């Protein structure tokens, strides 16, 4: 099936100016090589792996990422859907669709093959449309389909993830689990979450209030409410993250957990952090039959 998918994509992209496809171990990866920017996207999970302008990488991807069937890669922007994290920690509206004990962390959209449905390219931008028409898993009885639009230009990166309910009501938690690079986690901060409440997953899921910009001094795993754009500051880089998400997860595994993670070098925690544009916990989305909802995030780099 993988080779068939690769051959199909190769034929599909044969007339495009800026796009091609290659095999990386077991996975087909779409290559975007525009004159102003470049990107790599794995068809499995519709996972954007990298995006760069002027050779400056906007996303972090593990040096030990494994291109295996059914395994999400560590880095880029994995899609968490139709639940987030540990399935049991999701609200009851979401867990009512979870039917087994084998529910994988962060759902299953990130480990299934998507279809490339559209390509638009011009001298200034490239837009990819992808779909997961019949997402299914033994541990889920929901009814919905998924579409993703990835818009790239020399000034911004936008992802729009649309859930379309099927013939019955469905509730989902979701996140665009973005990994960001930094040259020094100790000099990295996030502004825009001041005075916001958050759940501290490392302190008994206690609810707290953020004071000042977020800094990284230890393992961090927090679910924030979001009401404004975020400014991501690290040495030599200022990025603006915006979107219509109502929650955001801030994460860094630090030393001990980092040493236990798969596809993660022991000292990689020094050079990455995650801000996940999300609708989780009380912000979970409920859709009536035929309704749709789009989770959108836009990233702009002010240091270019």
Instruction: Report how far apart, in Å, the C-alpha atoms of 138 and of each of 18, 45, 104 are.
Output: 38, 17, 11
Could you tell me if 139 and 99 are in contact, meaning their C-beta atoms sit under 8 angstroms apart?
yes
| Residue 127 token pair | 């837009």
Q: Among all chains, which residue has been given the structure tokens 């541990």?
A: 139
Q: How far apart are CA 141 and CA 136, in angstroms?
A: 8
Q: What are phi and psi of 185, to 5 degrees?
A: -60, -25
**CA distances to 31, 71, 109, 176 from 47, in Å:** 12, 11, 10, 10
Alpha carbon distance 301, 299 (integer Å):
7
Q: Is the peptide bond before 82 cis (omega within 30 degrees of 0)?
A: yes
Q: Are 151 and 158 in contact (CB under 8 A)?
A: yes
User: CB-based contacts of 195: which residues, under 8 Å, 6+ apart?
Assistant: 209, 210, 211
The 10 Å Cβ neighbour count of residue 149 is: 19
Q: Show which residues are catalytic.
A: 177, 276
């Amino acid at each position: 099936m993988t080779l068939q998918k690769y051959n199909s994509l190769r034929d599909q992209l044969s007339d495009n100016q800026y796009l091609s496809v290659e095999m990386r171990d077991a996975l087909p990866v779409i290559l975007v090589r525009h004159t102003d920017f470049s990107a790599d996207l794995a068809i499995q999970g519709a996972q954007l792996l990298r995006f760069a302008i002027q050779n400056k990488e906007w996303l972090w991807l593990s040096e030990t990422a494994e291109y295996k069937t059914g395994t999400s890669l560590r880095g880029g922007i994995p899609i968490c859907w139709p639940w987030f994290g540990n399935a049991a920690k999701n609200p009851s509206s979401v867990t009512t669709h979870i039917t087994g004990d084998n529910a994988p962390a962060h759902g299953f959209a990130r480990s299934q093959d998507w279809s490339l449905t559209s390509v638009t390219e011009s001298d200034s931008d490239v837009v990819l449309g992808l779909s997961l028409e019949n997402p299914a898993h033994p541990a889920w009885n929901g009814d919905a389909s998924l579409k993703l639009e990835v818009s790239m230009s020399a000034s911004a990166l936008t992802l729009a993830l649309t859930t379309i309910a099927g013939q019955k009501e469905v509730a989902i938690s979701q996140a665009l689990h973005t990994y960001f690079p930094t040259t020094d986690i100790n000099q990295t901060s996030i502004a825009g979450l001041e005075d916001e409440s958050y759940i501290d997953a490392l302190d008994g899921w206690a609810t707290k209030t953020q004071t000042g910009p977020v800094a990284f001094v230890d393992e961090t795993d927090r679910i924030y409410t979001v009401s404004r754009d975020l400014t991501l500051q690290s040495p030599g880089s200022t990025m603006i993250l915006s979107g219509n998400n109502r929650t955001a997860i801030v994460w860094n595994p630090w030393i001990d957990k980092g040493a236990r993670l798969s596809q993660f070098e022991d000292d990689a925690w020094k050079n990455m952090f995650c801000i996940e544009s999300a609708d989780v916990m009380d912000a979970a989305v409920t859709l009536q039959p035929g309704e749709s909802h789009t989770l959108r995030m836009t990233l702009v780099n002010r240091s270019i």
